[in-house]
Each structure stands twice: as C-alpha cells, then as structure tokens.
C-alpha cells in the first residue's frame, strides 16, 4: 500500500512529493535518488537509526553511489544546536561536497530539522531529502520546509524555510519505535483533527485500539490524512505570512515552553499534548467555545496514552518561557485557540494578563 501527496507552491519554491508507503524500507527512496543528478550523497542520521537501518542504507546506496558519506549524530533534542551544525559543515567540507550534493536527513524531527538547516545554509542552499522514521516526523516535522536549531532560551528560534526535494515516509519504521515515542507522535495527529478535521478527530477516538496495536491500514490512513492537511496549509502560507500556517501552532506555544522548562526531558509530542489541554481550557475561559471542547481534548490526549500534565508546572515560569515564542509581537502573543473541534481562531493576548488568565484556568 502507498499514497502520494504532492506539494505545489505558487512562488519560487520547487514542487515536491511525499511518498507514504509500507513497502520494504528504502526501495522507492533508492529509486528516487537514482533518477536524480548529484555529485554526492551525504546521509545525516543518529546512532539509534543507524544501528537499526545502517546495513540497509549501505547495501542500497553505497552500491549505487560510491560517493555516499554518512554523518552519525548523538540522539536527542539537546544536540539540536549550532555546534552540531558545525560538525555537519566540517564533514561536508572534508568530503568536498558542492552545490550539486544532496543531503538526506534520516531520523526523527531533530535530525530532519538540523539536516534541513545545514542544507539550507551550506553554500547558500543545497538539496535535501527527508526520511522521517518517527510518527511525529512523518506527520509534521518532515513536511513544509521549516528547518532550525534551538537556543538555550527558545526552541527552533534559529532557522530557515527550505523545502525538501522529496519526503519518504515508510510506516514500517514505526514498528521499531519505543512505545513512548510512538505515542508522542499521536499528539500532532490529534492537533490536525482539532484545528482542521473533526472527522479525523472522531476517527482517532473510534480507532484507539488499532492505533495502539500499530494496525498498518489505520496508520497509513492517519499519516496520509495528516500529511494532506499539513500540505494544504503549507501551500497556502509557505512562510507563515498570511497567518494560515500559524494555525498549526495549536498546543505548541505552551508545549515549547514546557519543553524548555523541563530541559527537554519531556518529549515534544508529550509537551504538545499538555499544551493543547492548556489552550483548550484557555479557549473556554475566554468564552470562545463550550466546555465540551476542553473535555474532549483532555480525554483524547490522556486516552491515547499521553500525559495531561507534569509535576511542578509553575505558572510564573511558564508565562516567562512563553514570551520568547516566535509568535510574540511586542506586548502581545498570538495564541491558537478553538471555537470548536475543527474550528481554530488566532487570539491576540496581552502578555501582561497571560499569567493571570493561566492561573484562572488552573493549568
């Protein structure tokens, strides 16, 4: 089984395909790269992915492309920084990589973001391919061309928009994920249902058991549906100019702040799940929606196996961390809230009253 999503942009960015498949890993990716002209391939991955799939990569790519260099990075958000980017630059230079080289980022969201950032800045931009191996990366991070690294004070604050040439999502990669990481990816899919498609939200509610059991048909549908929603939004607002793309930030403003406060000990998807609960409660407190919205969001997040809160959540610290969010504008911050499931709204809130409001909703 497989499905194809094509992103088409009205401006200068090149169109590209997202292949979602359950084939034997990397077959179509190998065929795709064989059809492309390049001087060399450079694979950026992490220690865990390389241990699982390194032999497959070697057998498929090194036979077809002797000029295939491999950069294996440590695993974890804490390595998503400019120091690691320099390590990638050093390898590219040592391999004499030029503007005809192609970088392949194979891993979760951290690898995709950092490989894409390196590709967008090396020689002012070279091509790259996304090979997401986690559910979160397949439905979100690999789609749309956002690349970046973290700063100690803020997540993804240093970055670029640089669209990939191809995205290869194979749901068989999900079978090797630890349960916690697998479930964290569901937060992004819940997010799509909450902001865009109530039918998708209902589907998750009705197929929870299939999701927990990694049912191939269910996961293929979820990855495809999520990819189509993300692609549709990105095509309308590639660089977050009109505000359409900002809707994807539902749960992320508070989620990113929570990640920073916990030193990234909590996974991105787990933080986003808590962030969605906070945002939906805030929506009700501001009379934007009925009480069933925060109830359904919280029930969904917890029911799928994600935490609904974490010990030691301090409103003062959360309020301060949020002010560094990229969606801040002077004394205001743009929050993505809900009028109902499937109907989001961008709400401008004065940062000076954010702390008071968060205290009232008892996050």
Non-local CB neighbours of 149 within 8 Å, separated by 6+ positions: 80, 81, 82, 84, 85, 113, 114, 117, 156, 158, 159
Residues, the chain:
363
pLDDT at 137: 97
Averaged pLDDT, groups of 10, the chain, 363 residues long: 77 82 92 91 96 90 71 94 96 94 96 98 97 97 94 89 95 94 96 96 95 94 95 90 90 90 90 95 94 96 91 77 70 91 93 76 64
Q: What pLDDT does 355 receive?
A: 74
Residue 74 in 3-state DSSP?
A: coil
The per-residue pLDDT for 363 is 60
Query: Using CA atoms, how far apart are residues 120 and 105, in angstroms rounded to an integer?
Result: 12
Into which CATH architecture does domain 2-176 fall?
A: 3-Layer(aba) Sandwich (3.40)
Q: What is the pLDDT of residue 318?
A: 83
For residue 221, the tally of other CB atoms under 10 A from its CB is 18
Backbone phi and psi for residue 103, each to the nearest 5 degrees, phi listed first: -95, 135
Kindly state the helix (H) or strand (E) to which residue 290 belongs, with its residue range: none
- According to DSSP, the residues that pair with 71 across neighbouring strands are 44
Q: Model's pTM, two decimal places?
A: 0.90
* Residue range(s) in the chain whose domain bears CATH number 3.40.50.1970: 2-176
Residues 193/200, Cβ–Cβ less than 8 Å? yes
Active-site annotation, residues: 124, 146, 188, 230, 240, 245, 249, 252, 256, 268
Q: What are the tens digits of pLDDT across the range 237-247?
A: 988 888 899 99
CATH 2.60.40.10 for the 180-361 domain, yes or no:
no
d(CA 68, CA 88): 14
Where are the domain boundaries for CATH 1.20.1090.10 in the chain?
Answer: 180-361
CA nearest 167: which of 139, 125, 196, 200?
139
Confidence (pLDDT) at 192: 97
Compute φ and ψ for 324, nearest 5 degrees.
Answer: -85, 0
């Amino acid at each position: 089984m497989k499905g194809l999503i094509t992103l088409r942009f009205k401006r200068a960015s090149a169109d590209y395909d997202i292949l979602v498949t359950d084939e034997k890993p990397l077959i179509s990716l190998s065929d795709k790269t064989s059809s492309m002209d390049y001087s060399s391939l450079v694979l950026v991955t992490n220690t865990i992915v390389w241990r699982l799939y390194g032999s497959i990569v070697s057998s498929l790519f090194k036979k077809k492309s002797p000029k295939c260099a491999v950069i294996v990075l440590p695993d974890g958000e804490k390595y998503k920084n400019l120091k690691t980017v320099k390590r990638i630059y050093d390898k590219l230079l040592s391999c004499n990589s030029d503007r005809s080289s192609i970088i392949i980022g194979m891993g979760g969201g951290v690898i995709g973001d950092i490989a894409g950032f390196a590709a967008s800045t090396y020689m002012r931009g070279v091509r790259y391919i996304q090979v997401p191996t986690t559910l979160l990366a397949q439905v979100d991070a690999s789609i749309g061309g956002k690349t970046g690294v973290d700063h100690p004070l803020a997540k993804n604050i240093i970055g670029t928009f640089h669209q990939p040439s191809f995205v290869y999502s194979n749901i068989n990669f999900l079978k090797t994920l630890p349960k916690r990481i697998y479930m964290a990816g569901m937060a992004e899919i819940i997010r799509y249902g909450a902001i865009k498609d109530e039918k998708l939200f209902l589907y998750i509610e009705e197929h929870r058991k299939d999701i927990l059991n990694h049912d191939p048909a269910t996961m293929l549908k979820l990855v495809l549906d999520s990819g189509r929603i993300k692609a549709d939004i990105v095509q309308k607002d590639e660089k977050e100019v009109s505000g359409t793309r900002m809707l994807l930030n539902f749960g992320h403003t508070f989620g990113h702040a929570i990640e920073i406060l916990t030193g990234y000990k909590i996974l991105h998807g787990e933080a986003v799940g808590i962030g969605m609960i906070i945002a939906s409660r805030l929506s009700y407190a501001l009379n934007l929606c009925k009480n069933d919205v925060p109830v359904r969001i919280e029930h969904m997040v917890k029911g799928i196996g994600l935490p609904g809160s974490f010990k030691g959540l301090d409103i003062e610290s959360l309020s301060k961390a949020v002010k560094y969010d990229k969606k801040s504008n002077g004394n205001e911050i743009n929050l993505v809230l809900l009028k109902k499931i499937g109907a989001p709204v961008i709400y401008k809130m004065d940062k000076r009253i954010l702390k008071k409001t968060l205290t009232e909703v008892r996050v």
